[in-house]
Amino acid sequence: MIYINLLIIFIFIVAIHEFGHYLAARYFGAKVTDFSIGFGKTIFKFTDKNNTIWKISIIPLGGY
């Protein structure tokens, strides 16, 4: 059970970190094409009004 809790906390920290990059890029006018939590095959994705593809991928060891 402790490993699942640690994984959830890690994913949450990665999401906050990557969202900070996203906000900074948008603030300075950079076009953001993808926002992903995890690597590998996509589990879930959608496209927002700014044509950014938001993804959750299968290997939760980081993001981009």
Look up 42 and say whether it is catalytic. Answer: no
The catalytic position among 11, 18, 39, 56 is 18
Which DSSP string corresponds to 3-62? HHHHHHHHHHHHHHHHHHHHHHHHHTT----EEEEEEEEEEEEEE-TT-PEEEEEEEEEE
Catalytic residues: 18
